[in-house]
Amino acid sequence: MNSSIISSRTPEDGARIYSVFFLRCYDFLIYKVLAPYVWRCGGEHFADLYSLMMSPNHADIGVGTGYFLDRCGYLPGEVRIGLFDLQQNCLDYTAARIDRFEPETYRCNALEPIKTTAAQFDSIALGGLLHCIPGDMTQKGVVFDSIKPLMKPGAKVFGYTILNQGIHKTMLSRLVYFLLHQLRVINGAQDSAQQLKTELSKRYKVVEVRTVGCIALFAAHSPV
Ligand SMILES: C[S@@+](CC[C@H](N)C(=O)[O-])C[C@H]1O[C@@H](n2cnc3c(N)ncnc32)[C@H](O)[C@@H]1O
- For residue 222, the tally of other CB atoms under 10 A from its CB is 13
Question: What ligand 1 atom has the least distance to the C-alpha of 110?
Answer: 20
Alpha carbon of 170 to ligand 1 centroid (Å)? 25
Q: Is 200 helix (H, G, I), strand (E, B) or coil?
A: helix
CA of 128 to the centre of ligand 1 (A): 6
Measured between alpha carbons, how far is 179 from 63 in angstroms, rounded to an integer?
Answer: 23
Residue nearest to atom 25 of ligand 1 (CA): 15
Where is 172: in which H helix or E strand?
A: helix 171-182
**Ligand 1 lining (C-beta closer than 6 Å):** 11, 14-15, 18, 30, 62-64, 67, 85-87, 90, 109-111, 127-129, 132-133
Buried b vs exposed e over 133-146: b needs ≥16 C-beta within 10 Å?
A: bbbbbeebbbbbeb
Separation of alpha carbons 81 and 90, rounded Å: 15
Other CB atoms closer than 10 Å to residue 8's CB: what's the count?
Answer: 11
C-alpha of 223 from chain center? 20
Rg (CA), the chain: 16
Return d(Cα 34, Cα 32) in angstroms, integer: 7
Per-residue pLDDT of the chain (224 residues; tens, 9 = 90+): 444 444 588 888 888 899 999 999 999 999 999 999 999 999 999 999 999 999 999 999 999 999 999 999 999 999 999 999 999 999 999 999 999 999 999 999 999 999 888 899 999 999 999 999 999 999 999 999 999 999 999 999 999 999 999 999 999 999 999 999 999 999 999 999 999 999 999 999 999 999 999 999 999 999 99
By C-alpha distance, which of 122, 101, 124 is closest to 114? 124
Beta strands in the chain (DSSP E): 57-61, 80-85, 104-107, 121-127, 151-162, 204-212, 215-223
To test the ligand 1 pocket, which listed residue (50, 72, 87, 109) has its Cβ within 8 A of the most ligand atoms? 87
Q: For residue 15, which atom of ligand 1 is closest to its CA?
A: 25
Q: What is the pLDDT of residue 206?
A: 98
Of 211, 114, 217, 82, the C-alpha closest to 159 is 217
> Given the CA of residue 67, which atom of ligand 1 is nearest to it?
9
State whether CATH 3.40.50.150 applies to domain 3-223: yes
Q: Tell me which residue has its CA closest to atom 27 in ligand 1.
A: 64
Q: How far apart are CA 176 and CA 16, in angstroms?
A: 18
DSSP 169: -
What is Dmax (Cα atoms) for the chain? 50
Best probe residue, ligand 1, of 129, 177, 183, 214 (max atoms within 8 Å of C-beta): 129
Cα 130 to averaged position of ligand 1 atoms, centre (Å): 8
